Amino acid sequence: ILNVEQSPQSLHVQEGDSTNFTCSFPSSNFYALHWYRWETAKSPEALFVMTLNGDEKKKGRISATLNTKEGYSYLYIKGSQPEDSATYLCASSSGGYQKVTFGTGTKLQVIP
């Protein structure tokens, strides 16, 4: 079983602050890295899927980077808004298989 770790576990920021989270994963036989946004009482929704070292993706105020050689990905939120409050999950797969391992998430609360 892959070990996917996310930090911090939880985070409180003021509205308007920018913030970032980390996802670390085993770098050997890397295949894909996913980020999801999960609001309470809803289902996880995809933010990004990245497969290449150096990938950078952006969706509005949210962006992500990927370093497959050292086994980490960063998720950035610029100018946090209360509606950004959610748990952010990362997931990694390796070895060319279609198994995936999720981290336990970073819970973000944006204070108005």
Min CB(7)–other proteins separation in Å = 13
- The Cα diameter of the chain in Å comes to 43
Q: Are 36 and 44 in contact (CB under 8 A)?
A: yes
Q: Which of 36, 37, 75, 77 binds other proteins (CB under 8 A)?
A: 36
Which letter does DSSP use for residue 82 in this model? G
Q: How far is the CB of 17 from other proteins (least distance, A)?
A: 26
**How far is the C-alpha of 77 from the C-alpha of 66, rounded, in Å?**
15
Query: DSSP E strands: which ranges in 25-71?
Result: 30-38, 45-50, 56-59, 62-67
Segment interacting with other proteins, rule: CB under 8 A, options 21-29, 58-66, 70-78, 103-111: 103-111
Residue closer to other proteins by CB (options 28, 51) is 51
Q: For residue 56, which phi and psi values (nearest 5 degrees)?
A: -135, 130
Give the C-alpha separation, 98 to 31, whole Å: 9
Give, as ranges, the residues between 41 and 100 that touch other proteins (CB under 8 A): 42-46, 49, 51, 89, 91, 93, 97-100
The answer to whether 4 contacts other proteins (rule: CB under 8 A) is yes
Interface contacts to other proteins, rule CB under 8 A: 1, 4, 31-32, 34, 36, 42-46, 49, 51, 89, 91, 93, 97-105
